[in-house]
Amino acid sequence: MQAKKFDLVVLGAGSAGIGAAVAAARNGARVALVEAGTALGGELLTGMTIDGAINAHGEPIVGGVLDDLVAACKALGGFVERLSDWRLIRYIAYDPEIMKIAVAQTVYEAGVHVMLYTFADEVVRDGDRVQGVVVRNKTGRTLLMADAFVDASGDGDLCALAGCPMLTPDAGEKLQPVSMMFRMAGVETEPLLRFVCEHPEYVAVGESDAIRGGRTDQQIVEEIRRQGHPCVFFRGDAPLLASAIARGEMFPTALVMIQPTSAARKEVCINATRVTLRDPLHPEELSSAFRVLVGQVRQCADFLRGNVPGFEAATLSGLAPRVGIRETRRILGDYVLTTEDVLESRKQPNGIAKGCHHVDIHQDGTGQIRIPVADGGSYDIPFESLLPQGVSNVAVAGRCLSATREAHGSARVMGSCMAMGQAAGTAAALACRQNAPADLRAVGVQALRARLIEQGAVLEGTR
């Protein structure tokens, strides 16, 4: 078996892995980025907006690598807008086709060694240290040895293979459903927004006091129209969708979320589909879910064309490159981010990333838990939530962080995942430089914070 040596191996090239690999490389580390899929970017390629990067007051709470990605997307002529959903959050909408190029450009320019079509097969461990990860692809197996590792796989694959302890779901608890994002082009914005203004009872608005600001629903939908972009969230329990669900014209869903991806193509991304699985890690279950999700895409597109002004001549223009998974494994770290940390917008001296997304737990059918962060602000994610117990040279980044289920329901979105990735990659690079052998817990958190701020991360000065 062939062996290769790096300073750092990052497993997973979604938003967290991109943040980790680019940050580490910029801090002098020789980085290998391993991705099981066919492209770099993960959920960044679906058309879904970047949530958790701007709080309800419009303050950016994530910077650094994210800023560079957005700037690259804009420089390439891609659609980029910072928008409010006038419900709970603000976010960055962008063109996913251009983002594909921007992500690859950013990663390769940083000097990262990329391995696509490759997945982790085995971990080599000695005591509290991971010595290497055996990866497999069509050429066979390769041992990637490194001083440090970042698990940004989403599912905590490296940590699971290393035998790290995990947080387990409560008895009878169903994991959040999987989804398939899709896009429709040829959507006329003005008729859609006029329809929303005529029927405010159909849409979700003002669920956060920071967003509502004392306005009535009618006043809020007028703000949506003034914003001028198709940012619309039709409620599953409101007359338009509820009657269609009752007739069997639509599948049960909590929301049909419509967000812009390209003004030139008059294109939007739609988040509506959902299938609840017993185990989203099981390939057969995911494969079966894909068939159902594709059927739901067709059903939702037909519903929009037949019932929502502006969609009459719209066409399906794209499917997400993979099934979207919200929840699987979470590590048990040195600190478990709590529900109170999130909802009370707690700031912490050892915070290395921020989050601001509401607690967001999708459920079966029309169910969904949505609880805003206090005062529309942000909370800090401590470094210790990225450090799995039992290993000294591994950090995690992304939705496998150490958090309660409710806190995870907020921190799992792309903005905070990329911020965690930048922190984990920077910490790993510092550990490789400072210690032999590298020990992530020996990296001083204040030194880490200072380096992150120096490189554009937002850690202070926001609500």
Mind listing the pLDDT tens digit for each residue in 369-387? 999 999 999 999 999 999 9
H-helix or E-strand spanning residue 399: none
Ranges 49-58, 123-132, 162-171, 276-285: which has the least confidence: 162-171
**Mean pLDDT for the chain?**
97
Confidence of residue 297 (pLDDT cuts 50, 70, 90): very high
Residue 173 pLDDT: 84
Residue 435 pLDDT: 72
State both tokens at 292: 């159902």
Longest Cα separation, the chain: 66
Residue 362 pLDDT: 97
The neighbouring-strand residues paired with 457 are none
Residue 169 pLDDT: 81
Residue 432 pLDDT: 95
H-helix or E-strand spanning residue 287: helix 283-307
State both tokens at 29: 């580390």
Residue 241 and residue 104: Cα distance in Å, rounded? 39
Q: What's the average model confidence in pLDDT over 199-219? A: 97
1.10.645.10, 3.30.70.260, 3.50.50.60, 3.20.20.70: CATH of 2-81+94-170+328-454: 3.50.50.60
Q: What's the average model confidence in pLDDT over 75-98? A: 97
Vertex 13, ends 398 and 339: CA angle to 5°? 10
Phi then psi dihedrals of residue 304, to 5 deg: -65, -45
Beta pairing class for 182-185 and 2-11: unpaired
Residue 179 pLDDT: 98
Residue 104 and residue 211: Cα distance in Å, rounded? 35
Give every CB contact of residue 450 below 8 A, 6+ residues apart in sequence: none
Beta pairing class for 2-11 and 31-34: parallel
3-state secondary structure of 333: strand
Residue 395 has pLDDT above 90, yes or no: yes
> Taking the domains of the chain in order of start, what are their residue ranges?
2-81+94-170+328-454, 182-319
Contact (Cβ atoms closer than 8 angstroms) between residue 117 and residue 138: yes
Confidence of residue 171 (pLDDT cuts 50, 70, 90): confident
Contacts 24+ apart (CB under 8 A), 108-111: 110/21, 110/22, 110/25, 110/26, 110/31, 111/25, 111/31
Residue 44 pLDDT: 98
H-helix or E-strand spanning residue 93: strand 90-94
Residue 47 has pLDDT above 80, yes or no: yes
Residue 172 has pLDDT above 90, yes or no: no
